[in-house]
Amino acid sequence: MIISLFLLFLNAFIASTILPAASEFLLWGIVADNPAMLWPAIAVASAGNTAGAVVNWLLGRFLAGFSGRRWYPLKPRQQQRASAWFQRFGLWSLLFAWLPVVGDPLTVVAGVLRVPLPIFVLLVAVGKTGRYVIVAMLAI
């Protein structure tokens, strides 16, 4: 089970960066196979996904000056969409960092806008953990 949890952490981490991955399926499989792993799996997936979001925040915080470069993780349209969300809903928009399409760019924009890291981590972790709780509960 330790290997499964390690792979879940890694998958959740990757899923929270700009790279494509879907950690919900792995979480679902682990919990469906062994319901006793419900809370450890939720904790591991949440930690990995939140850590990946922190990487995005760091990219936005320290690499924002390179936003026009080809290697920059956000396309201008993604950054504009995420910025619009952030301007509309403020810090509370970080509770929705788990959403597809807008969630990952939102975490980069939070770094660009210099959202304090403790507030960022708290809001992102609450939203991402809530999503994992729902997915995991549906698996049992």
Q: What percent of the chain has pLDDT over 90?
A: 66
The segment with the largest mean pLDDT, out of 17-21, 55-59, 86-90, is 55-59
Number of CB atoms found within 10 A of residue 119's CB: 12
What pLDDT shows up at residue 19? Answer: 76
Number of domains in the chain: 1
CA dist 74 and 31 (Å) reads 33
From residue 33, alpha-carbon distances to 1, 22, 46, 121 in Å are: 11, 18, 19, 30
Q: What percent of the chain has pLDDT over 70?
A: 100
Q: How confident is the model at residue 79 (pLDDT cuts 50, 70, 90)?
A: confident
Which residues constitute the domain of residue 7? 2-139
pLDDT digit string, tens, across residues 13-51? 999 987 778 899 999 999 999 999 999 999 999 999 999
Mean pLDDT, the chain, as a whole number? 92
Number of CB atoms found within 10 A of residue 54's CB: 19
